[in-house]
Amino acid sequence: MVERDGDVWRLNVPAWADKARKGFALPLKGGLGVIFKRRQQARRPGLELVFHRGGQLMGKFRKSWKAACTAAGVPDLWLYDLKRTASRNMTGAGVQQNVVMRIMAHSTDSMFRRYNITDDSNVADAMEATAAHVGAVEPDFGPNSDRAAVSRRKEAGALFVAPASTSSD
């Protein structure tokens, strides 16, 4: 059921429609909010369906999904492909893991990791961000710095062990 809460539209998924059988509410903003607002205006009084044809269910989800994907030119698209994309997009946008998990209805970290697939571009971005961070940090060469500690250990001979003598005199 979709309802308005001030300027925000909220999708309330009942427990019977939730795989985890808990139910949840999802605030809809931006493009989704516009779509649901339009659907709400087209809704018949007393009808709980958001998407319908003449007040009736649109049909079996899988059949409707396949027809919609074929019409859109992506016949092999799976709904779970979109869940992965949504998870990656939210993570890439800096949304915290616990928030992504709530939106995606993931109850465990392993589910989050299953959908949040990492590729080479993620690793490259992480390396670039780390390099930028390290480059922005001013080196500390004071008496308690790591570099000073290494110098003290080196002077004391603690870092380098001389190879054992191999002569048999």
Mean pLDDT to the nearest integer, 21-36: 79
Confidence at residue 86, expressed as pLDDT on a 0 to 100 scale: 87
Confidence at residue 119, expressed as pLDDT on a 0 to 100 scale: 76
72 pLDDT above the threshold of 90 = yes
161 pLDDT above the threshold of 70 = no
Confidence at residue 38, expressed as pLDDT on a 0 to 100 scale: 81
The edge-to-edge listing of strands for the beta sheet with 8-13 is 2-5, 8-13, 24-28
Lowest-confidence pick of 13-22, 88-97, 137-146: 137-146
Instruction: Give the whole-angstrom CA distance, residue 159 versus residue 46.
Output: 78
55 pLDDT above the threshold of 70 = yes
Percent of the chain with pLDDT over 90: 3
Mean pLDDT to the nearest integer, 47-65: 77
Amino acid sitting at position 73: G
Q: How confident is the model at residue 144 (pLDDT cuts 50, 70, 90)?
A: low
Confidence at residue 71, expressed as pLDDT on a 0 to 100 scale: 94
DSSP string, 6-31: TTEEEEEE-GGGSTTSS-EEEEE-HH
Q: Across the chain, what does the average pLDDT equal?
A: 77
pLDDT digits (tens, 9 = 90+) for 80-112: 888 888 888 888 888 898 888 888 888 888 888
Amino acid sitting at position 90: M
158 pLDDT above the threshold of 60 = no
